[in-house]
Amino acid sequence: MSTTIFFLNTITGLEKSFNTLCDELIKTKTVKKHISDESIITQILSAGGLTKTVRRRFSENVISAEQAGADIIQVTCSSVTPLIEYAQTLVDVPVLSIDGPMAEAVTSGYSRIGVLATNAGTLNPSGNLLLKTAQKLNKKVEIETVLCSDAYDAMLSGNTALHDEIVIKYLKNLMGKVEAVVLAQASTARVAELLSDSEKKTPVFTSPLFAVKHLARTIEENFR
């Protein structure tokens, strides 16, 4: 018996990386499907935050995933993490955030944390999530956020090499100021792998690995 996972993406191009992580980390048989809706992130960036249109569209995607046969839904965008709690009330299958597991890991071990994002729609939700998670753990943390929007522009134009180069530049600068760095988007996770061990002055946390590990545990606990 297989478990059907629906990934909800707000950009295209993440399918392969998440499918690969699932194949590596989930021991049981899975069917992996993706809903990629770029209108959500476009609206967030245009409006400067979450809107009624975004809330409705995201909820519709969650409902559509369940109706299409999802056993579990994995959201891959940090910008819509604040919407997951409500979306969960609309369906009977688990809806998992991309950044919750990572937030717990980084706040439990570090007090001065840097957050780097390429779009403003992700930066504030990610910083707020770290603060809320630390509060739950009775930890005091300091968050330094860095926006490198020029990297996002490069990605939109299809220049991934320039995108990665810009993110690395900002990342190296931020690493010298904090104890750990969070790359807030799944789309920037691969950049951490481009750094050598000697270049990683501080630990760099990325959400996909932590999220899929949590996804694997959830499947193990609920779909045996």
**CATH at 181:** 3.40.50.1860
- Residue 25 structural domain: 3-98+209-222
- 7 and 94 assigned to the same domain: yes
pTM of the entire structure?
A: 0.89
- Alpha-carbon distances of 160 from 22, 118, 157, 184, rounded to whole Å: 24, 13, 8, 17
Same structural domain for residues 115 and 202?
A: yes
91 and 114 together in one domain = no
pLDDT for 67 = 98
Backbone phi, psi, residue 90, to 5°: -90, -15
Report the pLDDT value the prediction gives residue 191, as an integer from 0 to 100. Answer: 87
Asked whether 66 and 73 are in contact (CB, 8 A), the reply is yes
Same-domain status, 104 and 147: yes
pLDDT of 196: 84
The confidence score (pLDDT) of residue 133 equals: 94
The pLDDT, as a whole number, for residue 187 is 81
Same domain, 83 and 106: no
Q: Are residues 159 and 202 in the same domain?
A: yes
Distance CA 91, CA 66 (A): 7
Per-residue pLDDT of the chain (224 residues; tens, 9 = 90+): 899 999 999 988 889 999 999 999 999 999 999 999 999 999 998 888 899 999 999 999 999 999 999 999 999 998 999 999 999 999 999 999 999 999 999 999 999 999 999 888 888 888 999 999 999 999 999 999 999 989 888 888 888 899 999 999 999 999 989 999 999 888 888 888 888 888 888 999 988 999 999 999 999 998 86
Provide the domain count of the chain.
Answer: 2
Q: Are residues 202 and 105 in the same domain?
A: yes
